Amino acid sequence: MSKAIVTAKAKTSTKAKVSSPVLGGVGAVLGPLVNDPTIRQTLISELLKFLLGLINRAPAPAPPTTTVTVPVPAPTQPTADFPDDVIPAPRVAGRAVASVELKIGRIQLSRERFPQAYTPENPFGLMQPGPVVLGGNMPYASKFWLDITARDAQGRELLRPDILSMGLAFATEHHCGETFIKGHGADPSGSAPLAGYETNDTDEIGNGITAWLSTLGFLHQMKAWPAADGKGFDCWAVVAGVRSNTITLHVS
């Protein structure tokens, strides 16, 4: 029993004496230094300074931030935040309508007759009005827009503010054959026609109304019905008593 105990103690003691050569070397060098009171005090003082420096160190500055301003796109249509009022131009004494020009603003083919004309590039099935104005034929069942431009004695076009200030709103007439619409001026608001404006539709040509109402009577939509096939129609306009040029519209 005694031998077993002694042997175990010896083995344990042998393991406890095993140490790293590096740690042993450090201990051999620092041991005498740490035991020196002056050096020990200096080490403790430097350690306290180091710890206090860590505690009192100012936080690292935050990384710089870059402000990005995203531009707000300009509205393309009037909104509550961006109203677009039409402000009448000042009245100019003696300024009046001197000449009136009539154009065919656009022609829209019938979808039933010409479905192939409606494409992604031409979603409304429009055709160029130029050839028609020069004597070419417009297919029946097409819609067309008569567009008026009025000018003063200096040749300046009368724009919407001028039309309002000069009392020309809805003081217009559009004629195509026996079909017509005649306005008698604007109501007190200035933006709607006086009641009692005149219209006449025929079996050949019919009147629209939306474009006329939205343009103070200066753009008007009509439609050539099948009964217009093979016929020609003289189209003209009047603004404040001044008559425009005449366009002969041939339908086929």
Question: 106 with 28, same domain?
Answer: no
Residue 86 lies in a domain: no
What value does the mean pLDDT take over residues 79-100?
78
Furthest C-alpha separation in the chain: 142
The structure tokens listed for 95 are: 């300024």
Surface-to-core class of residue 145, CB atoms within 10 Å of its CB (0-12 exposed, 13-18 middle, 19+ buried): buried
Question: 156 with 219, same domain?
Answer: yes
Write down the pLDDT at residue 157. 96
Residue 217 has pLDDT above 90, yes or no: yes
- DSSP E strands in the chain: the ranges are 99-108, 126-127, 137-138, 143-151, 172-176, 179-182, 198-200, 205-207, 219-224, 232-239, 242-243, 247-251
Q: Write down the residue that tokens 């083919």 correspond to.
A: 109
Residue 2 lies in a domain: no
Which residues span the domain enclosing 48?
20-59
**Confidence band (pLDDT; 50, 70, 90) for 118?**
very high
Write down the pLDDT at residue 148. 98
> Domain ends where: 59, 76, 109?
59
**Start-to-end C-alpha separation, the chain:** 132
Single pTM value for the model: 0.65
Residue 79 lies in a domain: no
**Confidence band (pLDDT; 50, 70, 90) for 126?**
very high
Residue 247 lies in a domain: yes
Residue 201 lies in a domain: yes
**Number of domain units in the chain:** 2
Question: 165 with 108, same domain?
Answer: yes
Question: 207 with 109, same domain?
Answer: yes
E strand or H helix at 16, and its extent?
A: helix 2-16
Write down the pLDDT at residue 17. 47
Write down the pLDDT at residue 58. 66
User: How many C-beta neighbours within 10 Å does residue 197 have?
Assistant: 18
**Confidence band (pLDDT; 50, 70, 90) for 24?**
low
Question: 45 with 150, same domain?
Answer: no
Residue 65 lies in a domain: no
**Confidence band (pLDDT; 50, 70, 90) for 68?**
low
Question: 41 with 162, same domain?
Answer: no
Residue 74 lies in a domain: no
Residue 75 lies in a domain: no
Residue 11 has pLDDT above 60, yes or no: no
Residue 168 phi/psi, 5-degree rounding, is -100, -5
**Confidence band (pLDDT; 50, 70, 90) for 93?**
confident
Cα gap 190→162, rounded to integer Å: 12
